[in-house]
Amino acid sequence: MTSKPYLTGHYTPVADEITATGLTVEGTLPPELTGRLIRNSHNPKPGITPTHWFKGSGMVHGIRLRDGRAEWYRNRWVHTPALDGAPYMTEKGPDLTASTAGTHVIEHGGRLLALCEANLPFELTADLETVGAYDFDGRLTSAMTAHPKEDPVTGELHFFSSSPFPPYLIHHVASADGRVLESQEVPGAGPALKHDFAITEHHVVFLEGSVTFDPAEHSGIPYGWNDAQASRIGVLPRGAGGAGKVRWFEIGQGYAMHLANAYEDARGRIVVEGPSVGRAGWQRSWNWWVGAPDRGAEPNSGSRSHRWTIDLAAGRVREEETDDLTVEFPTINDAFVGRAHRYQYALAFPDDLGVGNHTLVKYDRATGERQLRPVGTGQLPSEAVFVASADGADEDAGYLLTVVSDLNADASRLLVLDASDLTRPPVATVHLPRRVPAMIHGSWIPDADLA
Ligand SMILES: [Fe+2]
């Protein structure tokens, strides 16, 4: 028996790969939901206890919806050399193909890519079989973030390579069809842990929190909180030569794992939103991730929604905590990436200040209201993925997809919620053939994107 929190309860790995067809649906699946919901999780092989939650081998879970039917569920490990035990560090340096590939899965340029930030992407087939490491035809020679950002207007993919050693930060842009157009080292960056970033219409935004390279950390992920490390926001103009114009602004100490979005407001200021933790929350979260004592009951402790407003002309940043729930996994309607969004979705974790159970949250920036959608005791919803409705004009016209791990019934279900009102009964519920472990990130991939 193991006591590692990331191998028990909702996070208990599954032991095998299965395919199930003809899934049971309650309610009515909208025919326009024709595509795949593909999600990623850390799912070590049976008998393996990773030293860190994030060192567990990646497993993708797919749910195929077509024309009102739930055609299949399947789960597959991402078959990387690391799954078979290949080490990341070799005599020649890091092996960028020795990846867990267990953080996220996206589509770009017609390719499905499983991502982990210390490695190259891994390409998958539409049936979730592993094709192999993908390096953009040789143009990518460093690790790729698990949180690339696709510009909804240009279709360009922005991403970065981060390393605890120089070059610390490289910003890349790929065309809509997947060709790397430019790769620029960002001056002034350091060995701070960078998991996510943001783009606006004219800028790229990086956050360096107070979590930085720590060679004494032996969990396999060599980072730790450092009081001596100031937190900073770096802003650079998009386009050729932009990295050389980066400006770094010091902010209050913290660590923002994920950013919901960023945009330029009517006064030209850059607004960045996302959950952020302080020292205590970081340490309780990290202790959960490595299974150490003094950990929180949940993988995320004390991460609260924040907003940073950067006034480039005045050289100032204003920082606000915008809500008192402990939240993570912020998502939006991706058509608003880099543009002013009104709605944001997140997963609230139970803690002494928050809700009693895991709860989906919808924030309305225009009214300042929040809407809660609890799913019940013993139930853990995954990050909520927004899918726009074809005939909806409003930003929240569409569906919110979440896979719920249900410990009471030892089962899982996909909930299709009406994103315009989370309190309504589900539009549809798809019953999965067994309990699916709690997952990290994933995407809805419409069929048109894989054509
Ligand atoms: Fe992430």
Select from 304, 279, 189, 292 the least CA-distant residue to 226: 279
Q: Is 367 exposed, middle or buried (0-12, 13-18, 19+ CB in 10 A)?
A: exposed
Whether residue 132 is predicted with pLDDT greater than 70 in this model: the reply is yes
CB-based contact 445:112 (threshold 8 Å): yes
Give 328 Cα–ligand 1 centroid separation in angstroms: 9
pLDDT band for position 352 (cuts 50, 70, 90): low
Q: How far is the CA of 259 from the centre of ligand 1 (A)?
A: 9
Ligand 1: centre distance to CA 174 (Å):
20
pLDDT, one tens digit per residue, over 173-212 is: 999 999 999 999 999 999 999 999 999 999 999 999 999 9
Cis peptide before 167 (omega within 30 of 0): yes
Ligand 1 centroid distance, CA of 329 (Å): 8
Task: Express as a percent the part of the chain with pLDDT over 90.
Answer: 95
Gap between the Cα atoms of 327 and 304, Å rounded: 6
pLDDT single digits (tens) 66-117: 999 999 999 999 999 999 999 998 998 899 999 999 999 999 999 999 999 9
Q: DSSP code of 447?
A: H
Q: Average of pLDDT values for 106-135? A: 98
State phi, psi for 386 to the nearest 5 degrees. Answer: -85, 135
Query: What pLDDT score does 192 carry?
Result: 98
* Mean pLDDT, residues 33-59: 97
CA–centroid distance, 320 to ligand 1, in Å, is 22
Distance CA 210, CA 189 (A): 13
Q: How far is the CA of 274 from the centre of ligand 1 (A)?
A: 12
pLDDT of residue 195: 98
Of the pLDDT bands very low, low, confident and very high (cuts 50, 70, 90), residue 160 is very high
Q: How far is the CA of 441 from the centre of ligand 1 (A)?
A: 7
| pLDDT value of residue 130 | 98
Kindly report the average pLDDT of the chain as a whole number: 96
For residue 2, is pLDDT > 90?
A: no
If you measure from the C-alpha of residue 113 to the centroid of ligand 1, how many angstroms do you get, rounded to a whole number?
A: 15
pLDDT band at 355 (very low <50, low <70, confident <90, very high): low
Whole-number Å distance, alpha carbon 242 to ligand 1 midpoint, is 25
N-term to C-term CA, the chain? 45
Q: How do residues 202-252 score in pLDDT, each as one tens digit?
A: 999 999 999 999 999 999 999 999 999 999 999 999 999 999 999 999 999
Query: Mean pLDDT, to the nearest integer, of 154-177?
Result: 97
- Please compute the mean of the pLDDT values over residues 246-260 and round it to a whole number: 98
User: How far, in Å, from the CA of 439 to the mean position of ligand 1?
Assistant: 11
Using 50, 70 and 90 to split pLDDT, how confident is the model at 1? very low
CA of 195 to the centre of ligand 1 (A): 6
pTM of the model: 0.97
pLDDT digit string (tens) for 360-374? 999 999 999 999 999
pLDDT at 286: 98
Whether residue 422 is predicted with pLDDT greater than 80 in this model: the reply is yes
